[in-house]
Structure 1
């Protein structure tokens, strides 16, 4: 299906695109005023997004044990009728959790997908390529004990190399191993939201669950809309998106609320494997600016300044103040 966005949106600055998107239950529609005063509407824009969770299986958290987290996350995804979510496995966590292998198999049994996220989570920007690829191989060896794992691979920290030589060697190394780059299109700081909750609990402060849920959903939806507006401006369409999340307590508690809100805004939740059927999966942005995701990389390669490709809430000071203002974290 050909996805279209009105021509005026392609020429409008990003902030105005975000502000003027008319969001309906059927999708995003962009209206353009004609000289006669009539409103000419484009066809409804189908917006699709897959959910992915990094660093599985994570150890016990401050709100949930690892086992309880897995059970609640599976239940939440099932309740929200989400199929084929991606779980990117940090295989070094398996022996640390005790029940990690069983938890991963539970995700598979529930219809979700396991994928390679390295063994020890090294940053390619801070290590040499030989060590990095050996870590990928170690993770693949561990994952070989699981049935029906995918050939997807996600770079830790989304860092694909800070030099052209390292970036190229990593891409070649993945291809030699039959692995596909499982990029994201929607970056966010959900990991820092969890860190703030952990800090609050450690200080004896119990965050209000309803306020926490509202804040979590609001911030993630804002990130989704930001990167989709960027995609429409850069590509002239809404690609099949991939949302970066982590297998943490907040995801287990509130991912179903997030899905409900996304669907209210016209989003369709798709399996992770379908997301990588989008044509941007075969693109190779001519840039080393990859740690904000594929859409931002394509925009940067097209000449957009890096500072305008980062959502405002991807900032620790901003989020800390927001949590304090909403009573989710004690004031300094």
Structure 2
């Protein structure tokens, strides 16, 4: 019994001693979701960059080049991101969902983004790919085929191991600001932070249950107007939990991410959920949702 108690205590101490590490990543640059009146893409990006700098948090941005055609003024937001020394990588040109297209079509969309990345990144490494919608293929065969293609092009996969659906709150925020509904804006702010806290608890618990330890987490974010407003508070939440912010490169040195660093033939995405299923671990119920957001401030 004494040995058992000592073993449990040692395990608890090992968990407690593990540093919480988070790599910040932002999808859909330079233009995500609607803007409230008076906001600009450059302003949103500058506020996110300022909050990251205050928290000494590196971040990777993933671009959809098509936005520079849809909103030409948004192009300057990419220059702001790069001027701050933050890297950019590939999210496909048009935010193409692989599951709805052939691998050849998907490859063409990936390639179309590359000249812009070369111009923006120069000699720095930009060969990371974040799948739009996190959709990695409608079948194991398509998944493996896409991975072989990306490997030949020298890409690493930027998977996601923490997410709180921040994307879903940005459009309602723009509407509520436009309507002058301060109570609704306050409700969205509270919901944003509550979701972030719930997801932190969820994924830390899932990592421990599925792997017996904590991994460095890759957090999926978006460069939206509410994200810009809430970024100082969000980063403060993570810092209050002892988080250390690391680069995507640093986080993915963990063995958990090995299949994504040299993407070849894998049958499924590298996620904590899939790791839990493989190890017979129940996935806890997600304690945050996006219900009702479509009707807010309509």
TM-score tier after normalising by the smaller chain length: 0.7 to 0.9
Q: Supply the distance in 1 between the matched residues of 2:175 and 2:185 (Cα, whole angstroms).
A: 15
Aligned residues: 284
1:99 aligns with 2:73: yes
* Bigger helix share: 2
| Structure 1, unaligned runs of 5 or more | 1-32
**Match for residue 134 of structure 1?**
108
**Match for residue 13 of structure 1?**
none
Q: Supply the distance in 1 between the matched residues of 2:151 and 2:35 (Cα, whole angstroms).
A: 35
CA offsets 1:199-223 (integer angstroms, 9 cap, x no match): 4345552346555433312211211
| Structure 2, unaligned runs of 5 or more | none
SS of the residue 1:238 aligns to: coil
Deviation at 1:282, TM superposition (A): 1.0
Question: In the alignment, is the contact (CA less than 8 A) between 1:143 and 1:149 conserved in 2?
Answer: no
Q: 1:103 to 1:186 in 2, by over 3 A?
A: same
Question: In the alignment, is the contact (CA less than 8 A) between 1:50 and 1:272 conserved in 2?
Answer: yes
SS of the residue 1:161 aligns to: coil
**Which residue of 16, 19, 23 corresponds with 1:50?**
23
1:179 aligns with 2:155: yes
**Match for residue 108 of structure 1?**
82
SS of the residue 1:316 aligns to: coil
1:154 aligns with 2:130: yes
Question: In the alignment, is the contact (CA less than 8 A) between 2:202 and 2:286 conserved in 1?
Answer: yes
In the TM superposition, 1:245-260 aligns within 5 A as: 245-260=221-236
**Match for residue 72 of structure 1?**
47
Question: In the alignment, is the contact (CA less than 8 A) between 2:20 and 2:216 conserved in 1?
Answer: yes
**Match for residue 117 of structure 1?**
91
Deviation at 1:101, TM superposition (A): 3.3
**Match for residue 87 of structure 1?**
61
1:61 aligns with 2:35: yes
In the TM superposition, 1:192-203 aligns within 5 A as: 192-201=168-177, 203=179
Deviation at 1:39, TM superposition (A): 6.8
Deviation at 1:56, TM superposition (A): 0.1
Q: 1:303 to 1:77 in 2, by over 3 A?
A: same
TM-score between the two structures when normalised by the length of structure 1: 0.77
Question: In the alignment, is the contact (CA less than 8 A) between 2:164 and 2:196 conserved in 1?
Answer: yes
Q: 1:196 to 1:310 in 2, by over 3 A?
A: farther
1:270 aligns with 2:246: yes
TM-score between the two structures when normalised by the length of structure 2: 0.85
Q: Supply the distance in 1 between the matched residues of 2:13 and 2:281 (Cα, whole angstroms).
A: 26
